[in-house]
Amino acid sequence: MEVLTAAYTDIGIKKATNQDSLCVKIAETSVGKVVLAVICDGMGGLAKGEVASASVIHRFSEWFEQEFPGQLANFNLGDIQYHWTRMIKAQNQRIAEYGRKERVQLGTTWTALLLIGTQHLLIGHVGDSRVYRIDNRLEVLTEDQTVVGREVRRGTLTPEQAKKDPRRNVLLQCIGASKLVEPQFLTGKPVSGEVYMLCSDGFRHMISEDEIYRAFSPALLVNETVMEQKAKEMVDLNKQRQETDNITVVLVKLV
């Protein structure tokens, strides 16, 4: 399996700091190429949101480099999911303690994609950043853990109403700001030709799913240069449409 990746993040047109954080890690292993992509969207008073998001990114980068090789030798996807849950719960406690010490409330979303050769796919998720799968159509794989997302799933709001609802950014859980955090996990099998897109919520409010699909259709993303160019174009389009949040997108294509 070959993998093409691209990532782009922008402070946006209004905020003083970029509180989004990301990492993309690729390694050659005995089971083929492994890829870890993570996006965290931080939030908090006194510009501390980037502290929360960077803390989680650093922990997952450290895990990939130091702990994952040993776990891969005795591979069990359930064990990795268990380790990720423990890491998230520890980060929740650590960030909350930092907030109490600094007398600020801060937190972060967390959305991670792990590809292990052509055999395994694992997605971990807290908050309202997203993972999309793009092949012959565009599909949202994660659930928005927001008040509005919950009401859409219950059928009390339509997706169209949700886009304009003032509660659309109210999270049901957030690492560092929730007493308890329970990550959502999804597993599957990656398929050659697919594109996976991770994004913070600032990337998707001002553009349509059709525009995302047309920009990131697998047939168009022939190399990493094109992927980076398309990612920047879509971020710029969000800014032209007056998106006020930080904007981050990561693309992973299986070849």
> What would the two tokens of residue 84 be?
């990720």
pLDDT band per the 50, 70, 90 thresholds, residue 163: confident
Domains of the chain, first to last: 3-142+174-254 (3.60.40.10)
Residue 45 confidence (pLDDT): 64
Residue 47 confidence (pLDDT): 64
Q: Residue 188: is its pLDDT beyond 80? A: yes
Q: Residue 42 class from Cβ within 10 Å (0-12 exposed, 13-18 middle, 19+ buried)? A: buried
pTM for this model (two decimals): 0.95
Query: Percentage helix, strand, coil, to 5, in the chain?
Result: 40, 30, 30
Q: For residue 25, which of 8, 54, 5, 51 has the smallest C-alpha distance?
A: 5
Do 253 and 230 touch, CB atoms closer than 8 A? no
Predicted confidence (pLDDT) per residue in 14-41, tens digit: 999 999 999 999 999 988 899 999 999 9
Q: How far apart are the first and last CA of the chain?
A: 6
Distances (CA, A) of 26 to 35, 114, 116, 223, 254: 5, 10, 10, 16, 12
Q: Residue 198 class from Cβ within 10 Å (0-12 exposed, 13-18 middle, 19+ buried)? A: buried
Mean pLDDT of 145-163: 87
pLDDT band per the 50, 70, 90 thresholds, residue 212: very high
Report the C-alpha gap between 240 and 254 in whole angstroms: 31
Q: Residue 208 class from Cβ within 10 Å (0-12 exposed, 13-18 middle, 19+ buried)? A: exposed
> What would the two tokens of residue 3 be?
């993998």
Q: Could you please report the per-residue DSSP string of 193-255?
A: T-EEEEE-GGGTSSS-HHHHHHHH-TTT--SHHHHHHHHHHHHHHHHHTT--S-EEEEEEEE-
